[in-house]
Amino acid sequence: MDSYFDIKALPNPEIIQSAVVAHLMQQLHKLLPAFDGRIGLAFPAYGQQRTLGGIIRVLGECKDVERLYQQLQGMADVSDYALLTPIEPTPVNITQYARYTRAHAKGNSRLQRLKRRHQAACTWTDELATAIASKYSQPLHLPHVSLNSVSSGQAFILFVRRQVVQEQKRGAFNSYGLSLGNVAVPAF
């Protein structure tokens, strides 16, 4: 990860910043699969007002970052809502790294599937019902964006968990630019 640029949400009196970031993430999600997991995203203002913040940092190798930069510059959906900063080399004196991963909210449907499985195996008890309900009924309090699935068109919430780590792990990123496994990006 030798290069990066920032996508900064422009202030808009008609749209809240988190909606602009969600729109930008939707546009990135359309482009990132073509990079086969070589582009990672970071959120320097993560947690600000319990959101991802107004900056999306795009990190990767120079040729990939330049290609994505060119694609984003040509999209009116991006230029109307954001400012792309010039491509810069990643700082060399990084001491911290961050792992941004997708977190899944466990809903009622998961609880119902577990109940059916246990009932079929005759292992369902009132104590188990209470334990499972308490485990899966706790809401996620993580920054998130609302997106629409490119394949199905369904709306969903993408929860993002950040974990600060001391060493960089190399690997691949998903189609949202989030870590697969233990991959970390420079935190600066």
The token pair that represents 23 in the structure block: 């729109």
Using CA atoms, how far apart are residues 24 and 19, in angstroms rounded to an integer? 9
Given the DSSP bridges, would you call strands 97-103 and 82-84 parallel, antiparallel or unpaired?
unpaired
Q: Is 104 a catalytic residue?
A: no
Using CA atoms, how far apart are residues 25 and 31, in angstroms rounded to an integer? 10
- Of 23, 29, 118, 141, the catalytic one is 29
What are the residues facing 143 on neighbouring strands? none
Chain-centroid distance of CA 109 in Å reads 23
Element (H, E) at 68: helix 62-73
Using CA atoms, how far apart are residues 28 and 41, in angstroms rounded to an integer? 10
Active site residues: 29
